[in-house]
Amino acid sequence: MSAYKDKDARINGIKDQIRVVPNFPKPGIMFQDITTLLLKPKEFKDTIDMFVERYKGKNISVVAELEKEPFYHSDLLQSGGCPILARKKMGISIIQSIVPDVDGIEARGFIFGPPIALAIGAKFVPLRKPKKLPGKVISEEYILEYGRDCLEMHVGAVESAERALVVDDLIATGGTLCAAINLLERVGAEVVECACVIELPDLKGRERLNGKPLYVLVESH
């Protein structure tokens, strides 16, 4: 399901504040920049409010947000959908592409999950890259086209039978969201839905979510 199909008047304002930066960080890349959205209190609040309106009263006790490497979608599309070719075009070796930039999503921060969690009365659980969380963790390794990656969560952060919402700023190929779903379900949680600000529908990421519903605000082609 997508909010933009419901013709909510707030969607255009949100979309207008998401800047597309050509040739960043490499030539040929169209970067989806949400930092400009964060500079606009009204549109930023509208973004949070739209998620809160959807999930408040749904008995969701966990909001989990992902840490992942940056994704430069136009480069992938121009390379026929192959991340290895995309990264070669970007001047990055295949070996380097297997080692993710662990500060990728943190450069933008865990921005959307915490305010949504507070507003609906849920706890916030960060899903992070390896060796970023102290204490005991549970890990979910997953396979990407260019290698392997991993998400971790604190042991005991989520309990069996809790209802969870997975939040991310953008869905591209869907691999990281799928790993997040698997991680939460391994500890017995029920993943109610995945929520993203931006979807890149040409990459068909929602098809990898094993039937889990996906709610997005904005499409980008």
| Pairing status of strand 190-199 against strand 214-219 | parallel
Nearest to 210 by CA among 173, 181, 190: 181
Q: Would you call 185 a catalytic residue per the annotation?
A: no
Residue 100 vs residues 42, 63, 96, 132: alpha-carbon distances, Å: 34, 24, 8, 13
- Which candidate in 10, 108, 163, 208 is catalytic? 108
Concatenated DSSP letters of 18-78: SEEEET-SSTT-EEEE-HHHHT-HHHHHHHHHHHHHHHTTS---EEEEE------HHHHHH
108 is catalytic: yes
Q: 20: alpha, beta or left, given left = phi > 0 and alpha = psi -120 to 50?
A: beta
Residue 126 tokens, joined: 């960060």
**69, 145, 185, 190: which is the annotated catalytic residue?**
145
Q: Which residues of 111-145 are buried (b: 16+ CB within 10 A; e: fewer)?
A: bbbbbbbebbebebbbbbbeeebeeebbebeeebe
Task: Kindly list the catalytic residues.
Answer: 108, 145
